[in-house]
A = this chain, B = another copy of it.
Amino acid sequence: MSLVLDPAAQDLLFREARTANTFTDEPVTDEQVQAIYDLVKYAPTAFNQSPLRVVLVRSPEARERLVSHMAAGNQPKTAAAPLVAILATDHEFHQELPQLLPHAPGIADAFFSERSVREQAGTFNASLQAGYFILGIRAAGLAAGPMTGYDPAGIDKEFFGDGDHSVLTVVNIGKPGDDAWFARSPRLAYDEVVSTV
């Protein structure tokens, strides 16, 4: 065995977990989301910049506003999921860097004074964090249904409105319901992905 991670954990996070398209009615609590955050917050970002922001869409009114921006094929599951989270990049993440990187107080000015640099770095690092967050949802025994089919400008305006946040993905969260997923699609073979020089 080349992996030291417990096989049950491998199954929970990767092999048995699946992207869910239907959910039961069981609620997802704030305590569960806090436990997910308190786990995945430790995974790495460059300079600890931690640019991911999460909006939990809980009120029926906010859910309706979100559904109106989703692609037609994503609307029914977004309307029905126990919880929906908007994952976004904060392009002004450098304002928190003095707190996040206390041993290197000059980093924000040295590397991130330009907005275009922050957008590029922030988007990459928040995307890494979105990956960690999806696995964190699974670590809580829940299924994630990440989606990218929506009007991003509409969501940014509707839920942030400050011009400083860009949605990365919208994630349905809950216990999987009936016929929650398709058959597993194939993955690329190792040699199609990994090469050696």
Contacts and interface: CB of A to CB of B under 8 A. Distances in A.
Interface in A1-50: 1-6, 8-10, 12-15, 17, 19, 29-44, 46, 48, 50
Contacts of A197: 55-59, 62, 159
A50 B17 CA distance: 17
B56 A44 contact: no
A14 B40 contact: yes
Interface in A151-180: 159, 168-169
Given A14-B42, A128-B130, A185-B48, A194 B121 contact: no
A22 to B, nearest CB: 16
A141 interface: yes
A134 interface: yes
Given A12-B5, A43-B14, A194 B56 contact: yes
B140 A52 contact: no
Given A15-B42, A190-B37, A6 B9 contact: yes
A67 interface: no
B46 A188 contact: no
A82 to B, nearest CB: 14
Interface string A73-108: 000000000000000000000001001111100000
Given A3-B39, A39-B3, A134-B43, A99 B193 contact: no
9 contacts: A6-B8, A9-B9, A17-B42, A37-B193, A55-B197, A100-B187, A102-B186, A127-B131, A128-B134
Given A103-B183, A127-B131, 15 more contacts: A4-B139, A15-B42, A38-B190, A41-B188, A42-B184, A46-B146, A48-B187, A53-B194, A55-B194, A55-B195, A56-B194, A56-B197, A123-B124, A127-B127, A159-B197
